[in-house]
A and B are shown apart, each in its own frame.
Chain A
């Protein structure tokens, strides 16, 4: 009886052992990549809204301050989505007959709220608080990106926990002066590595031990 396996099967078996390792590693890499991809995080995707509101036009073009609409950002966990009344403040005067704005006028007329689609959607077990972040030198842009260049709002960060922790472990890389919170395209006057640690001290931002305690965000 001849041998079942030819001699070159030895090489194949060694190669297949390597291949198994390679395939498993690749699989792991694929899973991790998918997990961090925009497909999972919903980042960098435009979201259809009932009114195609352009932050590029309002914040970038006209230069309206973020806080004109997001009024509670400095005092509340929620930055606040403006009531229809805020839109009507201007749009009763300008573009007051535009068909594009009919849903807004209808909302005001019928006392029926607009139903916006949430873009930055954290899981329900995460309790993010806007007020403390803007008080401690985290700019709008740091998390929300260049809103002034977005014709339609989209999420630019992954909003995954590693992304939060990136800053919570070392906020000095991101903090900015309080008068620059709503600035888009902020460039530090001196190097961030110099101004960052100084601001962290000035704002009395807690140490990494506190900032990475679970109950700071989860409860």
Chain B
């Protein structure tokens, strides 16, 4: 195995690092000896050792880490390391000097103004419009509002009225706008590589169908993603009515089969549990990453969870979260008590808890070493009967879901009425959520026809191999050739079908195996509809004409029906006019339709919750799985590129993954103990053998991961993703089988090679100064102002300054970030990228610490190496009043505004980087190269016209979204009033599902931000520097079970062995 060193980059100046000899340490990894995990462990255990740490390297104090720590940019970020000689450098520089001199004298290039011919009524040039629509992922819709500048969708915001969004969005919705403009999307209909017109597709499909007319469609198969669109489902049912022997298969690469099978075993039907976490005092997550990656309710659950983490009103509001999991997820990071065990042991754990909380028929002993945890959890659950939620993860077998349902029933409110399950049909008359007095209610699944997808796909492959399939129509982004379980050998089977039609956004792996490829319309380009988690339907409306002539799923399915040429708008509208909510009266329906489009949802279309009885013997019916001995491999969705469909999305690829902070790659995540046993360090290649299949993948040590278990995210290793996605990472699907799609036994061997994994966990390090502050609930009750007492450095009664005190007049902007609410989901970082035209720099540049994200989320571990606590700290510009950056700028490119903003003036900046060198928070970013893509026309359409697009050699940083401040200020002044509290919402604040970020006028004592800043939990980071930041933090309060061991954070001053005060700057 030769290590891959390829990296994909938007810029032309990708400085490719020459491939090292196999086995040699590659340049990105530095030259230090491997980390001694034993020593790290010992150092963490010793009194006075680091309490909060960002990585093993930080604890071990490797030379690379010290380089990150002592300098704003590490040594290899600033230097010209390209293989360009001094002479050619001088030649280029003198040429550019000459050109710079000449160009400075020219007048600006001629610009054209192109007005409308007939201006749309509501369009005001220069003012964005917002349209409500919905994005579907995994078959579940999230309601969004899309910002449109003169017809160009530029930014996605959440729809506050939508039950799944509640005003927030996840990172996929933020990234989806870049996919819309992706120049690598397929742009033409092709048949075996030749460009063909749309009517040729229709002719081919009709030809294929007429060959099936004798057998009533026996040879026709339709393969879609999980479909929650009532219209599309009805269309497919119509096709199936015409071709009764045809079959429809839904395939999502990481399907929720276990949840479905579990519900069927418990209730006799497919139901979806819907939790109201605002009512839950105790939450037990059985491998359920409900705050980040599982299901479309993550935003809703995050909001509800965070509402129970606010202690300002009452300290008793705090809930308690137990997480039992193998991987270390975002949800695990927020746990009050977390138990890392192998995925296969979780069933035994669940059984033991169920037995103790009184689930009939459940017996079982806790896995070795977890008895105390089981006891504590069970006692806590019973003590809070009626106010508990037990959640099972998608990866867990059906038995665990059954146990979770049984525990919820056993621990539910005793008065809960048992009503028969309804059919779940749309019925606007019935008021929703009448039965919702318990924490958990059940609703029909959002997908129109729930199914167990692995079985369906296996049946399809069997049918093809049996010669029973002549025509296969694949619609959507599920990309089965890439994502199907390896044991099914889907690609091989697919080639036996005589007519293969594929429609998708990209000419992907599945398209290469198809005869016909039809470019699909993006959700921002097409009419459709979709259901969300509670059944609410949203009409999906397009924001722009298809950029590349894409066809929506409705239009492609229509070709199979008796009316082959229909546009999506007619299909969706006709369907809804025939529904009970619609109307056959055109005028009445037009009014209703417009209201639906305006609201972004059909009011009253939510399912009526049902409270079905759990079958009495359900918990005992499922067979207890035997926990596997030895090492176990887990397959999970990737936290940023999902199941691989976002592989070509630069924003999502470059977004550091919430826990590992890796970018542009996947890796085998493992516990330090596992790495120690196998003598592995970060980036060492390992060969993973699972069910006879092998995959070579780099290792990455993730503190808190379960021992003897590795987790490999899927979605990487694409071969036909596009310029960015192709060739990044390792294809985990080649390892994953259909019998154990989530975890199974594995054998790991070290290959001896290594690989450059690029993570940002040590970038911009500020270590050992009590920047993260936390207390347990008991400590908080005893000492509410604990955070202020944890102040680092010299305590002065009154801060003195050489500069005159800032006069607080008018609006003074500030921000408060609640570390008790933040789940580290990274949505804010990508929202900032989308709002502020932040460029993608590519893997090699990230490796040099040149990433451009204005906002980062520092992830810190606290406590011991094996079961650490996790803290997430969003870090935007602190907007200091005595800003150290301002006084050192020789050209006054960074100066203070009268509203307290630390303005960055790009047109003045000459790139000395003195400011970043002087920034204690390391929040300034420098354009070392021309990172922004100035040429691709599609990307020009995406950019926010209210934010300058920066060029090379310019410093930039968080502006508190000054464009939004200005827009609100101008609006207020025009209306001759003050700016209202909450009128300005920064991009990071708008997207935050937990409302952790609050921005506003700190000079107004009634503003939300001022109130938060007066909280006893409020603290200023590095207060002893007396720079008086406008961004402050609310310390975390954790609520661990006092009966279980937990990592206590001791207040006081901590220093690493070496002094921080040594000069280490670049200048």
- A residues apposed to B, CB below 8 Å: 34, 39-40, 42, 72, 75-78, 80-85, 107-108, 111-118, 121, 123-125, 127, 129, 131-132, 135-136, 204, 206-207, 209-210, 213-216, 218-219
Contacts and interface: CB of A to CB of B under 8 A. Distances in A.
A116 B947 contact: no
Contact of A80 (B125, B959, B970): B125
Given A34-B105, A115-B112, 12 more contacts: A76-B126, A81-B113, A111-B118, A114-B114, A116-B112, A117-B111, A213-B903, A215-B897, A216-B897, A218-B948, A219-B948, A219-B962
Contacts of A207: 898
B966 interface: yes
Given A39-B107, A42-B108, A219-B946, A72 B125 contact: yes
Contact of A75 (B111, B117, B127, B963): B127
B530 to A, nearest CB: 33
B461 interface: no
Contacts of B965: 215
B594 interface: no
B970 A113 contact: no
A115 B115 CA distance: 8
B117 A76 contact: no
Contact of A76 (B110, B127, B898): B127
* Most B Cβ at <10 Å: residue of A77, A81, A116, A124: A77
B775 to A, nearest CB: 38
Contact of A84 (B118, B126, B959, B976): B118
22 contacts: A40-B107, A42-B108, A75-B974, A80-B125, A81-B113, A83-B118, A83-B119, A85-B117, A113-B115, A113-B116, A115-B112, A115-B113, A117-B111, A117-B112, A124-B948, A127-B963, A132-B970, A132-B973, A204-B973, A209-B898, A216-B966, A218-B903
B906 interface: yes
Contacts of A206: 810
Contacts of B810: 206, 210
Contacts of B905: 214, 218
Contact of A85 (B119, B895, B959): B119
B756 to A, nearest CB: 36
Contacts of B907: 123, 125, 218
A84 B905 CA distance: 38
Q: Is the interface of A mostly helix, strand, loop or mixed?
A: loop
Contacts of A108: 117
B117 A215 contact: no
A132 B968 CA distance: 11
B124 A75 contact: yes
A72 B973 contact: no
Contacts of A121: 108, 111
B899 interface: yes
A178 to B, nearest CB: 12
A138 to B, nearest CB: 13
B965 to A, nearest CB: 8
A80 B124 contact: yes
B899 A72 contact: no
A110 to B, nearest CB: 9
Contact of A72 (B126, B897, B947): B126
A216 B897 CA distance: 9
A84 B116 CA distance: 7
Contacts of B117: 83-85, 107-108, 111-113
A39 B343 CA distance: 73
Contact of B126 (A77, A82, A124): A77
A31 to B, nearest CB: 10
A218 B903 CA distance: 9
Nearest to B112: A115
Contacts of B105: 34, 40
Given A84-B118, A131-B974, A132-B973, A214 B903 contact: yes
Nearest to B116: A83
Nearest to B908: A214
Contacts of B127: 72, 75-77
B125 A136 contact: no
B115 A84 contact: yes
A115 B117 CA distance: 11
B897 A116 contact: no
Contacts of B946: 127, 219
Contacts of B119: 83, 85
A215 B959 contact: yes
Contacts of B962: 215, 219
Contacts of A123: 108, 907
Contacts of A129: 966, 970
A99 to B, nearest CB: 20
Contacts of B976: 204
A80 B150 CA distance: 12
A67 to B, nearest CB: 13
A209 B812 CA distance: 14
Contact of B899 (A77, A117, A127, A210): A210
Contacts of A80: 115, 124-126
B949 interface: yes
A193 to B, nearest CB: 25
Contacts of A124: 948-949
Interface in B887-917: 895, 897-899, 901, 903, 905-907
A120 B965 CA distance: 25
Contacts of B108: 42, 121, 123
B983 to A, nearest CB: 16
A144 to B, nearest CB: 15
B996 to A, nearest CB: 25
A72 to B, nearest CB: 5
B906 A125 contact: yes
B973 A135 contact: yes
A215 B901 contact: yes
A157 B995 CA distance: 47
Nearest to B126: A78
Q: Identify the 5 closest CB pairs spanning chains A and B, nearest first.
A: A78-B126, A213-B897, A76-B126, A83-B116, A81-B115
Contacts of B963: 127, 219
Given A132-B974, A218-B905, A213 B112 contact: no
Given A78-B126, A83-B119, A115 B903 contact: no
B114 A115 contact: yes
A208 B108 CA distance: 29
B886 to A, nearest CB: 11
Nearest to A77: B126
B115 A116 contact: yes
Nearest to A131: B974
A127 B946 CA distance: 8
* Most B Cβ at <10 Å: residue of A34, A107, A116, A213: A213
B801 to A, nearest CB: 19
Contact of A131 (B110, B111, B949, B970): B970
* Most A Cβ at <10 Å: residue of B115, B973, B976: B115
Interface in B1017-1050: none
A216 B973 CA distance: 13
Given A75-B124, A129-B970, A42 B107 contact: yes
Given A75-B127, A123-B108, A135-B974, A219 B947 contact: yes
Contacts of A115: 112-114
B109 to A, nearest CB: 9
Interface in B112-142: 112-119, 124-127
Contacts of A84: 115-118
Contacts of B126: 72, 76-78, 80
Contacts of B966: 127, 129, 215-216, 219
A215 B903 contact: yes
B945 to A, nearest CB: 9
A210 B973 CA distance: 13
B935 to A, nearest CB: 16
Contacts of A82: 115
Given A125-B906, A210-B898, A72 B948 contact: no
Contact of A113 (B114, B898, B947, B948): B114
